[in-house]
Amino acid sequence: MSDIWGLIGIKVMNRIIECVPNFSNGQNPEVYNAIAAEAETVEGVKLLNVDPGKATNRTVVTIAGSPEAVVEAAFRCIKKAAELIDMSKHKGEHPRMGATDVCPLVPISGISMEETAEFAKELAKRVGEELHIPVYLYEAAQADKKRSNLSVIREGEYEGFAEKIKKAEWKPDFGPAELNIKAGATVIGARDFLIAYNVNLNTTSVRRANSVAFDIREKGRVKRTGDPVTGEVVKDENGNPVSIPGSLKHVKAIGWFIEEYGVAQISMNLTNIIETPLHIAFDETCTKAQARGLRVTGSEVVGLVPLNSLLDAGRYFLKKQQRSAGVSDAELIRIAVKSMGLDELGPFDPQKRVIEYLIAEGTDKLVSMSLRAFADETASESPAPGGGSIAAYCGAMGAALATMVANLSSHKRGWDDKWEYFSDYAEKGQRIKDALLKAVDEDTAAFNKIMKAFELPKGTDAEKAARKQAIQDATKYAIEVPFKVMGLCLEAMEVAKAMAESGNPNSVTDAGVGALSARTGVRGAFLNVKINAAGFADKAFVDDVLAKGDALEARALALEEEVMGIVNSKIV
């Protein structure tokens, strides 16, 4: 509930950005691997891909993680590239202007484009000031739209930049207004995630595939008189060709034939997946293909895809069936894959194709255990997982039960007019459950962070000061995690109350148990807030957190009484 989060003031969703720097060396593995290795020296960053090209003499590196960590990793990579690459000796087929030619930041989840652009500016400023490399901002990070296009900025390339940079209109946004002879110049910015997406047709005709591509792509097709292929091009009063726009914004598309599969495809670049998401591109292609007597048989994503693209697709196709979309992420992905035929040409493994899963690989150790293994680990002599993790898990089970009631109610015979109402609650429940499951590991990680801080050296005054600060930082985090859990568990109770009131009456006790489990999560998490707050030096912060915690606990107890009153009235 929005008022709950206004009360505790904590964002639930983790912020993730992707960075795809292009380095002007694709022929020397020692060079490009050394550059990419710099990213792995930063905690919180995952190196997802290193793609060198010999002919272009250029390597594209893909990293992702928290914004702060990605900015640090990108800086280290740019610094290493400036050390190892000499642009005065570089040759390659691809246009380029620097050792690090272009470095885009891409919002993936939990962060806006505007926020991502600010991180791009932060990186650009640091590169310019610390490495003395001229830096130009582009796309969303560039306020002057006359110089926001990458190809316009890069025009003249490295060889022409010594003169271009002297012009007033091409003064760099950061760094010296003089070409760095060895490192060249760099372009840094923020842009949308680009999905390379191919849709398969039941034809071998490139011409027919192109017809559909022209129907959907934003650029559309040139308008002709008479026959759309052989007719004369229609021109405007200035003599320019007139275009008929396609039906999808931010989509580039062309038809081609793939000999390996023996089918024609429509190859697309989706350059703004907020305005034209994956599922809309698929459905519109199906509509236009059918209008031309063709049939879409499946599709494929080239490279990686953000999790939300698949989750949104799964929800979209379930809602078209008037089914509850409040199911697990795994089920939403399965629906998306089957609905769009993403596995027609080969297996689609989400663990290898979804950015967030690649980043999180190996981090959720507790929630990936079996129930027995988790209970055994809790019962062992190790102090973690402890009460904080268990409180989060109790809340997750409470949210899960409330969600179950919502889904059962959505599909109840005779309640067809209510499916959307219950679907909305099921989606809320799933979101809460997933966040609480994540908190199970987060709480244990917070405890371990405190333990590591206490292990830091304390031989000198500087070491003592650093150790003290690390302990305080870790303690604050160990307060914030269970405090966040309290808010999530209270949200779970709100869902359970709604389901007790209006859900399937046969499942009212499930809603009651869900509320009780979530209540335990609230109170259990508050115990952890209190014990960790006792060791935190910022008393104003502690007083504020404890006051808000008291309010959350009081609301939880009141909600418990309300829910149990509803449940008992219906089972008498």
Catalytic residues: 94, 443
Q: How far is CA 297 from CA 201, 207, 257, in A?
A: 6, 18, 15
Which amino acid is present at 113?
M
Q: CA-CA distance, 137 to 154, in Å (whole number)?
A: 11
The two three-digit tokens of residue 45, written as one number: 């960053």
The two three-digit tokens of residue 32, written as one number: 């490009």
Q: CA-CA distance, 129 to 328, in Å (whole number)?
A: 47
547 CB-near residues (< 8 Å, 6+ apart): none
Q: Which residues of 119-230 form beta strands (DSSP E)?
A: 135-139, 186-190, 195-201, 221-222
Q: What is the CA radius of gyration of the chain?
A: 28
The two three-digit tokens of residue 245, written as one number: 């726009």
Q: CA-CA distance, 550 to 553, in Å (whole number)?
A: 5
Q: CA-CA distance, 21 to 272, in Å (whole number)?
A: 19
Q: How far is CA 22 from CA 37, 99, 126, in A?
A: 14, 8, 18
3-state secondary structure 363-418: CCCCCCCCHHHHHHHHHCCCCCCCHHHHHHHHHHHHHHHHHHHHHHHHCCCCCHHH
What is the torsion angle, in degrees rounded to the nearest 10, for the CA atoms of residue 208, residue 209, residue 213 and residue 214? -20
Q: CA-CA distance, 65 to 127, in Å (whole number)?
A: 20
Tokens 């039906």 sit on residue = 247
3-state secondary structure 352-367: HHEHHHHHHCCCCCCC
Tokens 């973690």 sit on residue = 384
DSSP annotation of 169 reads G
Among residues 82, 80, 77, 69, which one has the least CA distance to residue 21?
77
Residue 187 pairs in a beta bridge with 102, 136
Residue 201 pairs in a beta bridge with 296
Q: What is the DSSP string of 465-530?
A: HHHHHHHHHHHHHHHHHHHHHHHHHHHHHHHHHHHHHHS-GGGHHHHHHHHHHHHHHHHHHHHHHH
Tokens 């404890």 sit on residue = 546
Among residues 426, 441, 438, 437, which one has the least CA distance to residue 332?
426
3-class DSSP assignment, residue 538: coil
